[in-house]
Amino acid sequence: MPTDTTVTITSHTPRQTEEIGSLLGSMLATGDIIALCGELGTGKTTLVRGMARGIGLEEGEVASPSFTLVNEYAGGGPLAKGPLRLFHIDLYRLADARELIAIDYEEYLTADGAVVIEWADRIPQAIPAEALWIMLRYLTSESREIVLRAEGDRYKMMIEELQRKVYTELSL
């Protein structure tokens, strides 16, 4: 039975949020599912931009897929056999799970890459049982509370390693 674990990290600036994302991105592997939640402007796309940098993408290559619904990026993370693909899905504009069929959602979940889903809480039943849930919350205009909840042993190990790296490499 998978073990659930929750870790909270405070980011004091958007740059720190991106750096946290980069550390997380460096740990991503094919098959990983990251479910992002949070109000508009809390830094979901900033975190994904960092994840993309962590898999080896250049800065500036990530944009919110709000209008396209899905963006695909390819990098070269250390756990990948070759370039790791990152599928960035945005559920903000979808009303319900039936609309996921139009974007071939199931195909992305089983594709050769990691999947990051913004606004995952809009259609939570579409998220696999084992996933890393990340909630971003406003603390101040610049600071964010980042709550990571591991659903499954793989993600428990990831957030424990992330927490260690954040406090040793970023000195938060």
Ordered per-residue pLDDT tens for the chain, 172 residues? 345 589 999 999 999 999 999 999 999 999 999 999 999 989 998 999 899 888 887 655 566 655 567 777 776 544 444 468 888 888 887 777 777 777 777 788 888 889 999 999 988 888 999 999 999 999 999 999 999 999 999 999 999 999 999 988 876 6
Where in the chain are the domains?
A: 4-131+141-151
Per-residue pLDDT, 79:
43
Residues 6+ apart with CB under 8 A from 32: 114, 115, 132, 154, 158
pTM: 0.86
- Under CATH, to which class is 4-131+141-151 assigned? alpha beta
Per-residue pLDDT, 72:
76
